Structure 1
Amino acid sequence: MTRTADHRLPRRRRRRLTVALAVLLTAGGAGGATAAWSARQGGGQTAPEHPIRLDTVKVTKTDLSTDRTLPGTLGYGPLRALKGTGPGVLTKLPSPGATAVRGKPLYWVNDQPVTVFLGDTPFFRALDKPGLRGRDVTVLADNLRALGYDIGPTTDRAPTRHAPGGTEFTVELGAALKRWQRDTGQEATGTLTPGRALVLPGPVRVNTVTAAPGDPAEGEVLTYTTTAKSVAVSVDAAEVGALHTGQSVTITLPDSREIPGTVASVAGAVQGGSADDQTAQAGPPTVAVTVTPRHAGDVKGLDSASVQVRFSATDRKGVLAVPVTALLALREGGYALQRPDSTLVPVETGVFADGMVEVSGTGVNEGMTVVTAS
């Protein structure tokens, strides 16, 4: 027996509801489905007429963003331990919260200041003889120059198989070292020995002091962090591909203020998620993402806090969109929109966000009225 149009329509409406629910469960991804149409249909199908009242919506032009909000922790970044070098006894230590800056002493050994220099190579030998060359000499030269001392001409070279690279220790550099020692109350020997200065990667903030006056200088002295505040966020490894360094985010502070931020780094290592590793973190695998407030003044006065970070993985401006409940799945595959006169219009889907879906295709335009499931 052949069914009439009135019997087929409820099934089509049930399919529309099923599709809408399925799409909602997967919202946030981007579709690329294109309705498949046979040649004999010539690009259009006609839904059977029916007496049921239709719920309709209009195709609108709007902006769509696939936002994701995750918890984070505002602080000064990961802790690092600082170990002293050279013989002697610690006689004076900084207070937690103190800032280590270039050219200033951070602590004292045998009542002599240990000054902060900035660079990437620690002092591992005595620097005293003209002709010495190395990256440690480069650190000394760069810091004395930055502190305003005339170090004379310097020569730098790249390392080779038979000779180290870096800057050469010259007579002029030794003279500048003497002047700096004299200005900072040290014995002006013109020799820099390990332990008289320490090298840090940049200005840092003292977090905790782990040593006490009277302890040997060769040991852990303190822990430190960067001076800039940042937010640590754990992101599901399956979703981290949508994030990139330099991406703009929004940080919500405990007082509900929203401030702009930037993704500073995305770790390359995945944490947790290994069922075979008993020491692995519980839950799905995650990736550590570091976010920095765009304006340091926005978090002034907050040393540590729980915050929320909103990421916009995809941002589409001025696209045509309809509620996902307006999508109609076709037996042939793909999706269509249904006009009130029962004509079907094939569409390609784009971004899904907040119950809406981006649509495009021939015949789809802003203000067009389409049927939606109630």
Structure 2
Amino acid sequence: MDAQDDTATLPAVRDAAHTPDGGRPAAPSRRKKAATGTLVALAVLLTGGGVTYTWLRDRPAAEAPEGPGEARSVAVIRTDLGEQKTMAGTLGYGEATTVKGPGAGTVTWLPKAGETAERGKPLARIDDRPVTVFYGDMPLYRKLGQAPEPSAGASAKSSSPASGEPRPATTPSPGGAGDVAGPGTRGADVKILEENLYALGFRDFGRPDTLLTDATVTAVKRWQKANGDQHPSGVVDPADVRVIAVSARIGEIRAHVGDRADGELLTLTGGTRSVTVPLPVADKPLAPQGTKVTVDLPGGAKSTGTVRDVGTVAAQDGKTGSGGDGGGADSAAGDAKVKVTVSLDDPGAADGLDGAPVSVGFTSGSRTGVLAVPVGALVALREGGYAVQVTGQGAEKPHLTSVKTGMFAQGLVEVSGPEIKEGVRVVTAQ
């Protein structure tokens, strides 16, 4: 019966309340009242039902609600799982070291940011003289090289070395910047000078050692002439070189050509990109030197890295604790962090980025050779715990089997149970 047929019953219900002779309507009985109410309600319901049907029938298909994603089956696998703890880090070139000018003179040339500072190359030019990069673990602190001319009246013995003996060294007087430590001088700075000259191909003195000789002076003059000095002095002034540990990257240029050379010239950073992570002291055991980590870069790129250095000084990450009742001190101790430096296994993964926030994953636990399924395969049981749905083979029907879960990692979960074996197929969410 359609909606129109149902509504046609309404006049019959109305006329049933009148007498056959057309007089005043008789008082309806309770049964008639109930029948009348039922028929009216039924008519309204069916009419509404017809409207509802029409609305659903005419509704565009795009508005239909989507059902759950299709399920698929996967095999139980045997694998190694690693649980990770993720920390925020910063991609960059490490801490910057400031290079200052020698004090006197005018800046006549500066390199460009991003260039490499390496042995034998100029770091700057002051009064058109190069400040050359040397490698070493300490700066030169005195002038080394050509001995000063002997004063009038000096004995021939004092002005020339005895056979087989080094020439006596000139001893600088306190504050005597003009004094030169000449042949016969011994010291760690002499060895740094000779090591760098030797590496650059000026080897007149033989193997580097701590004794400065006339042969060292000859090597210095040859090096100076190769650097464009037409009147080599044979003396290396501390202002002529900048000793750094290894090659570095030119960071920020802080001076301009024409400035006086008595301020900051530029900064040096590490030569390769690395990641710095402020690691809570409590998590320091997660990052021994040489540990492998994962690095999530901006834009979704992923890489791996190796812990290169672990700091030994704990700080509160730039914050200071509050005083008072001592609670601030406890908080400061709890927030203390050490700096961990991570080198990227593939530096090219961060090409185009000189600095960026990254996420670093440290392995906090691992399981080897366990059976695992995707986390989406777990079914929560009403009585507690989990199960997986085994697809069944042959005459066996799909069914649930309870499992015991272990480590969750990498989108997988360790599972065990009577029916859980490698290769068994289970249902997982698409």
TM-score band by shorter chain is 0.5 to 0.7
Q: CA deviation at 1:85?
A: 2.5
C-alpha separation in 1, matches of 2:95 and 2:126: 27
- Name the residue aligned to 2:339: 288
Letter aligned with residue 243 of structure 2: V
- Name structure 2 gaps, 5 residues minimum: 1-75, 146-181, 381-403, 423-430
- Tell me if structure 1 keeps the 8 A contact 2:89–2:278: yes
RMSD, aligned CA: 3.5
C-alpha separation in 2, matches of 1:97 and 1:192: 28
Q: CA deviation at 1:262?
A: 0.8
- Tell me if structure 1 keeps the 8 A contact 2:191–2:208: no
Q: Is 1:183 paired with 2:183?
A: no
Map Cα deviations across residues 233-274 of structure 1 (whole Å, 9 max, x no partner): 122221221211111111112121211211111111222186
- Tell me if structure 1 keeps the 8 A contact 2:83–2:363: yes
Q: Is 1:94 paired with 2:115?
A: no
Q: CA deviation at 1:135?
A: 1.6
Structure 1 residues 223-262: aligned runs within 5 Å: 223-262=267-306
Letter aligned with residue 363 of structure 2: S
Query: Do the aligned partners of residues 98 and 213 (structure 1) sit closer, same or farther apart at CA in structure 2, a change above 3 Å counting?
Result: same
C-alpha separation in 1, matches of 2:95 and 2:116: 16
Q: Is 1:73 paired with 2:97?
A: no
Indicate which of 72, 88, 112 corresponds to 2:129.
112
Identity of aligned residues (%): 39
- Tell me if structure 2 keeps the 8 A contact 1:87–1:195: no
Q: TM-score, normalised by structure 2?
A: 0.57
C-alpha separation in 1, matches of 2:350 and 2:284: 26
Give the total of aligned pairs. 277
Larger radius of gyration: 2
- Name structure 1 gaps, 5 residues minimum: 1-58, 157-166, 327-346, 369-374
Q: TM-score, normalised by structure 1?
A: 0.65
Indicate which of 339, 351, 354 corresponds to 1:300.
351
Query: Do the aligned partners of residues 353 and 291 (structure 1) sit closer, same or farther apart at CA in structure 2, a change above 3 Å counting?
Result: same
Map Cα deviations across residues 55-91 of structure 1 (whole Å, 9 max, x no partner): xxxx985423121122221111111111223532222
- Tell me if structure 2 keeps the 8 A contact 1:181–1:188: yes
C-alpha separation in 1, matches of 2:292 and 2:90: 17
Secondary structure at the residue paired with 1:211?
coil
Structure 1 residues 98-247: aligned runs within 5 Å: 98-128=115-145, 129-154=182-207, 156=209, 167-186=210-229, 187-247=231-291
- Name the residue aligned to 2:321: 275
Secondary structure at the residue paired with 1:239?
helix
Letter aligned with residue 353 of structure 2: L
Letter aligned with residue 321 of structure 2: A
- Name the residue aligned to 1:13: none
Larger fraction in helix:
2
Q: CA deviation at 1:305?
A: 1.6
Structure possessing the higher relative contact order (Cα contacts under 8 Å, 6 or more residues apart): 1
Query: Do the aligned partners of residues 91 and 283 (structure 1) sit closer, same or farther apart at CA in structure 2, a change above 3 Å counting?
Result: farther
Letter aligned with residue 153 of structure 1: G
Letter aligned with residue 199 of structure 1: V
- Tell me if structure 1 keeps the 8 A contact 2:321–2:332: no
- Tell me if structure 1 keeps the 8 A contact 2:135–2:245: yes
C-alpha separation in 2, matches of 1:364 and 1:192: 80
Letter aligned with residue 140 of structure 2: F
Q: CA deviation at 1:113?
A: 1.3
Query: Do the aligned partners of residues 113 and 169 (structure 1) sit closer, same or farther apart at CA in structure 2, a change above 3 Å counting?
Result: same
Q: CA deviation at 1:286?
A: 2.1
Structure 1 stretch displaced more, 142-151 or 91-100: 91-100
Query: Do the aligned partners of residues 96 and 282 (structure 1) sit closer, same or farther apart at CA in structure 2, a change above 3 Å counting?
Result: farther
Structure 1 stretch displaced more, 282-291 or 77-86: 282-291
Q: CA deviation at 1:142?
A: 1.0
Query: Do the aligned partners of residues 155 and 208 (structure 1) sit closer, same or farther apart at CA in structure 2, a change above 3 Å counting?
Result: closer
